[in-house]
Amino acid sequence: MCNRSHIVWRTTLLVAFLLVLMVPVEVCAAGESYPSKPIKLIVPFNPGGLSDTTARVVVKHMDKYFDQPLVVVNIEGAGSIVGSQEALEAPADGYTLLWHHHSMLTSNVMGLADFTWDSYTPVCSVVSTGATVVVKATSPWNTLKDLLDDAREHPGKIRYGVNLGTMSHFGGLNLGLATGVKFSYVGGGGDAVRIAQLLRGEIDVCASGGLTVQYVRSGELRPLAYASDKRNPALPEVPTTIEQDVDSVEIFTLGIFGPKGLPKDIVEKLEKAFAMLCEDSSFKEEMRSHVCEVTYMPSDVFGEYLDSEQIRLQEVAERSGILKK
């Protein structure tokens, strides 16, 4: 009886010991197998816009460089805050990512969101795009200088269309600060809304992204400047603001974010895959068709860039007096 009890005790001890040994092996295997299922890529805007369109180009080409598909999920609402909040609260396991741009920063600066880029784990930037300052083809202004001269002569008269609290708003404010002119900023909506307002004569000028190109080519709109330090490949004849001695840019940088605390090994796997994607010539070509340039920055560099942009946008808001006291 004593021998039998001793054998049972030793067997139980051995089984427990083996189970303990198995735990780190299983954890290690789980970490090494990422990704083992599809990854949700949250786009915090409606389908059909710039963010949604570019995200779908990303997932289309990413299949070549990642073991599992990325699946776009549109969660719009409150100017991107609803979808961003869901990504913020997701488990930090790499299976929920966010595709977002500068509006994350401007929402925070304006006090509309209590989180910003460093509330997440920035994984990498992927593409960037600028905005073209446009007026109606029948406008009296043929150049950016014409517009600015008129604005100086008639402060507050010229109606500048923006989507309040977003990069289009901050871009318009920055143009005014850089040139010492005063515009009357008129709230509207996204690119399509502002272009419609411009064509109906409800505003006098606006800056818009990729959608602008077709209206410029059709002759309905006249481009005055591309708000960047490099010309727009889709409208190479349009001079930049910098070329016209106006130190004002309006650049959207779109990238990948994960929840705070995303493990380093998962970040590195994502960085590696996106770095390969950004070298893909067919991916670059398709992004250019949407008036976007591939602009890859790894996690640490992307974080430094976003930090500097947050400071810059905060300064624009403060100098413009748009922040509530």
pTM of the model: 0.83
Q: How far is CA 191 from CA 48, 138, 166, 237, 264, in A?
A: 12, 20, 11, 21, 37
**CATH architecture label of 39-128+253-320:** 3-Layer(aba) Sandwich (3.40)
May I ask the CATH class of domain 132-226? Answer: alpha beta
Q: Any idea how long the chain is?
A: 325
Query: Where in the chain do CATH 3.40.190.10 domains reside?
Result: 132-226
User: What is d(CA 3, CA 100) in angstroms, rounded to the nearest whole number?
Assistant: 68
Query: Where in the chain do CATH 3.40.190.150 domains reside?
Result: 39-128+253-320
> What count of Cα atoms within 13 Å lies in the side-chain half-sphere of residue 93?
14
Q: How far is CA 167 from CA 224, 231, 255, 261, 313, in A?
A: 19, 19, 16, 28, 9
Digits of tens for pLDDT over the chain (325 positions)? 444 444 444 544 444 444 444 444 433 344 468 999 999 999 998 888 889 999 999 999 999 999 999 999 999 888 789 999 999 999 999 999 999 999 999 999 999 999 999 999 999 999 999 999 999 999 999 999 999 999 999 999 999 999 888 889 999 999 999 999 999 999 988 888 899 999 999 999 999 888 889 999 999 999 999 998 889 888 999 999 999 999 998 888 999 999 999 999 999 999 999 999 999 999 999 999 888 999 999 999 999 999 999 999 999 999 999 886 5
Using an 8 Å Cβ cutoff, are 104 and 72 in contact?
no
Q: Token pair for residue 114?
A: 């209590």
The secondary structure element, H or E, covering residue 298 is strand 293-298
**199 strand-pairing partners:** none
Q: How far is CA 26 from CA 19, 22, 92, 232, 235, in A?
A: 11, 6, 19, 51, 55
Using an 8 Å Cβ cutoff, are 125 and 255 in contact?
yes
Which amino acid is present at 104? M
CB atoms within 10 A of CB 168: 29
Query: Parallel, antiparallel, or unpaired: how do β-strands 159-162 and 221-226 relate?
Result: unpaired
Query: Parallel, antiparallel, or unpaired: how do β-strands 184-187 and 96-100 relate?
Result: unpaired
User: What is d(CA 8, CA 68) in angstroms, rounded to the nearest whole number?
Assistant: 46
Which amino acid is present at 125? S
CB atoms within 10 A of CB 9: 10
User: What is d(CA 104, CA 302) in angstroms, rounded to the nearest whole number?
Assistant: 14
